[in-house]
A and B are shown apart, each in its own frame.
Chain A
Amino acid sequence: MITLNVNGESHQFDVSPEMPLLWAIRDKLNLTGTKFGCGHAMCGACVVHLDGEAARSCSIMVGEAAGKRITTIEGISGPVAEAVTHAWQSLDVVQCGYCQSGQIMSAIVLLNENKNPTDEDINLGMEGNICRCGTYVRIRRAIHQAAKALA
């Protein structure tokens, strides 16, 4: 049995400790906001927060995540999360939307660590998140807007 703390709730699973966290979240907990894009830590569609740090859930085993605070897109809260989500909505960042849970999860961590990111900080902080629809212009704008709202 593995116990995971997801979005403030504790869940017990009878799974191999090697199962990627992504599939425990999506297939066992049915929290489907976290997405599968590449399975090899290359796209960021699966980003969640582990003790507040951005983590690619496709490449972390549940055994490693046990004992940590796991937050998915469904469980985000607080002023930074609200500012980011609001900026995303007011600028209509999304197109297909499939990458956007991961983008938002990465942006929250970026803004938690850096209240006023420059364009270069955004390039670095968002480097691991692919958007195949090419919404980068608006992601950048939304991060700046959220930073301003939080200032």
Chain B
Amino acid sequence: MRVNLATLPFFDFSRREFLKGAAATAGAFVLGAYIPFSREAFAQEQGPAKGPYDPNLFLKIEIDNSVTLISKHFEMGQGVTTGLATLVAEELDADWSAMRFAFAPNDPAVYNNLVFGPVMGTGGSTSMAESWEQARKVGAAARMMFVGAAAAKWNVPASGIKVEMGVISNGSGHRATFGELAADAMKTPVPTEIVLKPPQQWQLIGTRLPRLDSKGKTTGTAVFAGDIRRPGMLTAVVRRPEQFGAKPVSFDASEAKKLAGVVDVVQISRGVAVLGTDTWAAMRGCDALKVTWDASAAEKRSTSEILAEYRQLAGQPGLVAPGRGDAAAGMARAAKTLEAEFTLPYLAHAPMEPLNCTLEVHGDGAELWSGCQLQSIDQLVTAQVLGLKPGQIKIHTLLGGGSFGRRGNPMADWVVEVSEIAKAIKGRAPVHLVWTRDDDIKGGFYRPLVLHRVKVGLAANGTITAWQHRVVGQSIFMGTPFERMAVKNGIDASTIEGVIDTSYELTDFAVDVHNAKSPVPVLWWRSVGHSHTGYVMETVIDEIAQATGKDPVALRLELLAKQPRDAAVVRLVAEKAGWNRPFPRGKGRGRGFAYHQSFGTRVGMVAEVSLTPETVKIERIVAAVDCGVAINPDVVTAQIEGAIGFALSTALRNQVTLREGVVEQRNFDDYEPTRMREMPEVEVHIVGSQEWPSGIGEPGVPPLAPAIGNAIFAATGKRFRSLPMGLKTLA
């Protein structure tokens, strides 16, 4: 079933506009949506004797003095709960060891993502940017309320009261902890004028604070969605079609139903679900099913045929994006031209935790336990399938075992599945839907397959006279509720982000697009369009350096002359990697450079590789990053390290290919993530900055593959214009 999301009101607000204008518009949007403390919540609370209480919507302070951040954002490993807690604790003057986190209930009126509009969701590397002011104001408001409560209780002037490490005190011997004063603090008026600390007074922001989720995740006690156990729960595993777009017609469950533990078999719109008393029973039952499919509307082509169509499209002019100058005239001035075609494959997200969730239907509504990245969408689709009102769906957001975009699907495909299954069994038991790894790799919602054609005009002196760039691929945003955010005049901004908004100065620059169509579902995949545009741009820049005899770093600095923040990152990484020191070439060793800005964050990388005729080893990656204020520099470093590990197998070997419409990969043997021995040494350098923070979850991905490709070129003279490179690593 295709759920109608047209009822959801989305603001017409592009992520990019936000990131560029964040500092300027912050006051307006934050105050509009900002509810630091709710009066209703105060009214419910009578005092600490009743145990834990919610003095406001973002904080829970308990009598044991613990301070729980109510996280509006989904934690999928990016460290967002630690980051948000840092902002609150900084302004509250809390003791870091007393900080905890919990996930907020689904209430977009309070917990909306300020970038997405009236929608609760996490993505686009927006979390710290959108919460930067709000979370600090929550902390500061709470602190002021504690000070006000102490002043009243002790009958002393507020000006003499200080707050340190969760303790409120004054010079004349009064002292109380947060827990002791919280009941009084809640009754003080919520301040309307909130002053934030100047950066010089920060004690937590910019320091290495330990992650709040480390303990649970190292002791087996952290609760992921798949760990939910409800009384009477049945586990469902779904057989889906081999070809995207095929539909189930009928099924024969006679063999499946003979198996111990198989309870029921039901048809849903995307396939046939087997319900069992445990996961293994459901998996075996699913294997024993016989399903007849209607494949009339299915994708039946192979990857080579799809690419042949892309090439044909690429031969014709596409939809024209707003470029700069006059590329045709610039091309006419060129002394020579450089032309290149790139293809980059469909990619599966393959988060370590395969998709899953649990849905329980009650008389008056339903509860969903899931690693929810887009709570508002998950709520709406559940309500629509079950025929309930969105307000009747309660969502419990749980830790996600990775996502990389997959758990934030505007089609909420697996939530639709669980809802249809629950409906088919008339809600008689809680349903725990489990995807296997094979389901995950073969299940679609891939990073789009794309083809780029680039033509660059070069003057005799080596300067760029024109840049013409054509991209062919499926749109991610079209047909989703986020369409208005990203699609203008038929062009999906995510198809060309990283090209059209390049930091490089290209004066005569033209970009056009063909939207290819296929039943293969596509989705944002860690760094979205930048995951392919970064590779193309940085490879072409390297080719230009080669063609014009320029040093790759010098060429980039030339093109970034008007972009001081970008240039500073390029200089920093070049310096730290010793770019100006001679590198022993020719002996199977190479060094390559790449730089890319995405989600407002600037990342440069130098890759050092060594090669034999069949294998490559990535020895070292030196990275530099400017993400504005590095709220927790250790988390920033970890995200860059992790992005390198994530992107490495993609550069070398990962791809989803179709053969007559059937996905050819199915598990970690033929879609193998990076392994320990392949991981290079990594050095991360962070630019000290007081700019508004930008994202860090995604921007480490785009520069890795081109840095490696450029290093391999330096060693061998071989260019990779398609990914994956198809190189083996040393065993």
| Interface residues, chain A, with chain B CB atoms under 8 Å away | 16, 19-20, 23, 26-28, 30-40, 42-43, 45, 72-74, 85, 88-90, 92-101, 104, 122-123, 126-127, 129-140
Contact = CB atoms under 8 A, between A and B. Distances in A.
A134 B402 CA distance: 11
A98 B676 contact: no
Interface in B351-405: 351-354, 399-404
Contacts of A130: 352, 668, 673, 675
Interface in B161-205: none
B278 A23 contact: yes
A133 B77 contact: yes
Q: Which 8 A-B pairs have the closest CB atoms?
A: A134-B645, A33-B220, A98-B401, A97-B217, A96-B77, A95-B77, A73-B220, A32-B227
B638 A16 contact: no
B674 interface: yes
A96 B373 CA distance: 13
B308 interface: no
Given A89-B215, A133-B352, A42 B667 contact: yes
Contact of A92 (B211, B221, B404, B434): B211
A132 to B, nearest CB: 4
A16 B262 CA distance: 13
Interface of B: 76-79, 210-211, 213-224, 226-227, 229, 235, 260, 278-280, 283, 350-354, 399-404, 434, 436-437, 634-635, 638-639, 641-646, 648, 667-669, 673-677, 679, 681-682
A132 B280 contact: no
20 contacts: A20-B280, A36-B226, A36-B354, A74-B221, A88-B214, A92-B635, A93-B214, A94-B211, A94-B213, A94-B218, A96-B352, A96-B403, A97-B218, A98-B401, A123-B676, A133-B642, A134-B644, A135-B642, A136-B674, A138-B641
Given A95-B79, A97-B401, A101-B220, A27 B279 contact: yes
Given A90-B210, A96-B351, A137-B679, 17 more contacts: A16-B260, A34-B220, A37-B353, A37-B437, A38-B667, A88-B214, A92-B210, A95-B639, A96-B400, A97-B77, A97-B217, A100-B218, A126-B676, A127-B676, A131-B352, A132-B402, A134-B643
Nearest to B441: A38
A138 B436 CA distance: 28
Contacts of A85: 218-219
A43 B667 CA distance: 10
Contacts of B402: 95-96, 98, 132-133
A56 to B, nearest CB: 12
Contacts of A137: 641, 645, 679, 681-682
B354 A132 contact: no
Contacts of B403: 96
Most buried by A among B77, B354, B669: B77
A89 B673 contact: no
A72 B399 CA distance: 20
A95 B642 contact: yes
Nearest to B404: A132
B213 A132 contact: no
Contacts of A74: 219-221
B667 A40 contact: yes
Given A96-B77, A131-B645, A30 B673 contact: no
Nearest to A96: B77
A28 B278 contact: yes
Contacts of B437: 37-40, 43
A92 B215 contact: no
Contacts of B643: 134
A133 B403 CA distance: 9
Nearest to B668: A42
A97 B667 contact: no
A26 B645 CA distance: 29
Contacts of B399: 96-97
A127 B592 CA distance: 27
